[in-house]
């Protein structure tokens, strides 16, 4: 069936969204704080195969999820959602054991380093995160290693469950027609925007000055200064500077090609010569190598565009706006002739990094773009607007507002791409649901009677 017999698709999607939020929070929510430890009475509340679910697993996630705010469900409903989410993960971990799927310590450490880097950015600093949990970064990593390993195993199993699933145009139409009219989602206002980008060049003198600065830092390190201290003082990489330039473990293909070509050849403690990447100029120090993964420190200095070059770019875009407004040149022609953006071959259309489509909701837009188009009508072209490129360089662009849709109920004519995605998600959820029912029926699952009143989406052998 296209629509689940147990619960309508969009209610199921809503429930799944909650579970997805919990999965995204599972790292943070699984770290116990000193204050929480006094509130949690531990005990086994469920068993899935050889894997147990503890009361602390549920309570930690509940307490931390509560801190995020915005809880609309009751305490009991939320805890039921949490335990079902954990049951599903434990079932996938049990399947991973059957399939002999192995996640190495190096993979876990590399993934954990990347995730913690993101969490540190959310907190604002490593110190703030450590203060919140009352633990050092090392203690947090030790506490989370098994949790991350389970997540990685579960993600691999789930990917295999839904691999190869697709939907045909016929299935998309059937899916849409099966949605009750009062359940068809409202599509928010969406925007389609094109741009012409001018990236001012960085002068040779600026590049030489930055390289000389970095070379002097390198000499100081070779003369005995601490690489970590120099990184904290001078590195312009906000993600690693406060950690003494340490990046954490990365494998091949995850860093700038020029960077890793040098980094992977370094011996422990060795310091590289100056390397140039899109981000700027680096020096690297090898900390540790584990198989195909390396952990290095680096110091980054990025050349800056001069104020004069920025102003020249702005003036050039002013001239292009004048040509377009005087009908001497179409916007599409101007894109081809003048734009230096990566999307110049796609009529300058901006791509939504969250959906990889050309449509944006207001909250998905850069704040400067959102402020600019708020005053524009469809077809209007903006004056030059300052921007940052993907490699954090200063630039300017002009914007064409190509489309602004009005809020409306989703329909196949205007929202085919979205409806296709919903249909695909529904088909994947049905497949996952069938997998859960089959595996749960053939796996030992025991749930504490305390949770017998839960209305689960899936049959875990309680009915």
pLDDT by residue (tens digit) across 409-433? 999 998 998 899 999 999 998 998 8
**Architecture in CATH of 204-301:** Roll (3.10)
For the chain, the structural domain boundaries read 9-181+412-451, 189-201+306-406, 204-301
Measured CA to CA, the distance from residue 239 to residue 309 in angstroms comes to: 28
Token pair of 218 as six digits: 């390198």
Termini Cα distance of the chain: 22
pLDDT of residue 73: 62
Token pair of 250 as six digits: 């990365």
Give the tens place of pLDDT for each residue, 319-354.
999 999 998 999 999 999 999 998 999 999 999 988
Residue 393, phi-psi category: left (phi > 0), alpha (psi -120 to 50), beta (remainder): beta
Nearest to 217 by CA among 207, 203, 232, 197: 232
pLDDT of residue 45: 85
pLDDT of residue 67: 60
pLDDT of residue 462: 55
pLDDT of residue 168: 96
Measured CA to CA, the distance from residue 308 to residue 103 in angstroms comes to: 52
**Architecture in CATH of 9-181+412-451:** Orthogonal Bundle (1.10)
Token pair of 230 as six digits: 């120099």
pLDDT of residue 390: 80
For residue 375, what are the CA distances in angstroms to 182, 191, 348, 382, 383? 33, 13, 21, 9, 12
Does 189-201+306-406 match 9-181+412-451 at the fold level? no
Per residue in 289-300, is it b (16+ CB within 10 Å) or e — as a string?
A: beeebbbbbbbb
Measured CA to CA, the distance from residue 309 to residue 307 in angstroms comes to: 6
Sheet with 275-277: list strands edge to edge: 246-251, 293-301, 280-290, 275-277
Measured CA to CA, the distance from residue 435 to residue 161 in angstroms comes to: 8
Q: Where does 189-201+306-406 sit in CATH, by number? A: 3.10.50.40
Ranges of the chain with pLDDT below 70: 1-42, 64-73, 461-463
**In contact, 431 and 456? CB cutoff 8 Å:** no
């Amino acid at each position: 069936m296209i629509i689940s017999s147990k619960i309508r698709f969009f209610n199921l999607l809503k429930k799944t969204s909650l579970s997805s939020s919990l999965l995204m929070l599972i790292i943070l929510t699984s770290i116990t704080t000193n204050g929480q430890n006094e509130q949690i009475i531990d005990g086994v509340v469920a068993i899935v195969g050889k894997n147990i679910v503890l009361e602390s697993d549920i309570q930690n996630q509940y307490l931390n999820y509560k801190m995020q705010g915005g809880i609309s469900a009751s305490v009991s409903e939320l805890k039921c959602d949490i335990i079902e989410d954990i049951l599903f993960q434990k079932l996938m971990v049990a399947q991973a054991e059957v399939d002999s799927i192995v996640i190495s310590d190096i993979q876990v450490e590399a993934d954990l380093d990347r995730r913690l880097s993101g969490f540190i950015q959310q907190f604002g600093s490593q110190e703030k995160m450590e203060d919140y949990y009352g633990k050092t970064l090392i203690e947090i990593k030790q506490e989370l290693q098994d949790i991350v390993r389970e997540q990685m195993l579960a993600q691999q199993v789930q990917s295999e469950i839904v691999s190869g699933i697709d939907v045909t145009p016929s299935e998309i139409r059937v899916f849409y027609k099966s949605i009750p009219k009062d359940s068809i989602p409202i599509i928010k206002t969406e925007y389609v925007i094109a741009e012409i980008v001018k990236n001012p060049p960085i002068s040779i003198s600026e590049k030489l000055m930055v390289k000389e600065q970095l070379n002097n830092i390198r000499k100081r390190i070779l003369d005995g200064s601490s690489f970590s201290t120099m990184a904290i003082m001078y590195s312009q990489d906000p993600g690693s500077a406060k950690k003494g330039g340490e990046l954490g473990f990365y494998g091949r293909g995850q860093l700038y090609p020029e960077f890793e070509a040098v980094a992977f050849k370094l011996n422990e403690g060795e310091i590289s010569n100056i390397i140039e990447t899109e981000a700027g100029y680096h020096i690297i120090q090898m900390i540790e190598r584990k198989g195909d993964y390396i952990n290095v420190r680096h110091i980054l200095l990025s050349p800056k565009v001069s104020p004069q070059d920025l102003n020249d770019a702005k003036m050039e875009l002013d001239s292009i706006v004048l040509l377009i407004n005087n009908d001497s040149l179409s916007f599409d022609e101007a894109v081809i002739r003048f734009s230096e953006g990566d999307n110049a071959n796609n009529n300058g259309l901006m791509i939504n990094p969250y959906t990889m489509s050309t449509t944006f909701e207001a909250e998905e837009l850069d704040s400067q773009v959102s402020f600019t188009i708020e005053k524009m009508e469809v077809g209007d072209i903006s004056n030059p607007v300052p921007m940052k490129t993907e490699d954090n360089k200063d630039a300017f662009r002009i914007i064409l507002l190509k489309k602004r849709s009005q809020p409306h109920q989703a329909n196949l004519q205007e929202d085919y791409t979205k409806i296709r995605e919903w249909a695909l998600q529904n088909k994947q959820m049905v497949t996952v649901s069938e997998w859960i029912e089959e595996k749960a029926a053939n796996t030992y699952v025991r749930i504490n009677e305390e949770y017998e009143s839960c209305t689960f989406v899936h049959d875990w052998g309680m009915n």
